[in-house]
Amino acid sequence: MQTITKQAYWNELCIKLRKKYPQLTDKDLKYREGKEESMMRMIEYKLQKTKEEMQEIIDSMKFFLYER
């Protein structure tokens, strides 16, 4: 059940990331269990953001996901 919840959350977050950063592709954002760190490093590189900057972006988007 937790994996399904994680996947649903990630799908919503991806939609928001793609709207804000259209240069991200579906391949960039494809969720793979156990590969989260390498995926985030690749996204950070592509957006030219630090790990801390990406965490702030994701945290701000989480706020809007839970606000519904």
Q: Which helix (H) or strand (E) holds 10?
A: helix 2-20
In terms of Cβ atoms closer than 10 Å to its own Cβ (0-12, 13-18, 19+), residue 52 is exposed
Q: What's the pLDDT score for residue 68?
A: 47
Q: Read off the tokens for 48.
A: 């030219």
pLDDT of residue 65: 58
pLDDT for the residue numbered 24: 95
Residue 62: per-residue pLDDT: 75
For 10-52, write each residue's pLDDT tens digit. 888 889 999 999 999 999 988 877 888 888 899 999 999 999 9
Domain ranges, ordered by start, for the chain? 2-66
Closest CA to 12 of 54, 47, 61: 61
Could you tell me the two tokens for 59?
Answer: 């945290």
Quick one: pLDDT at residue 66?
Answer: 55
pTM: 0.73
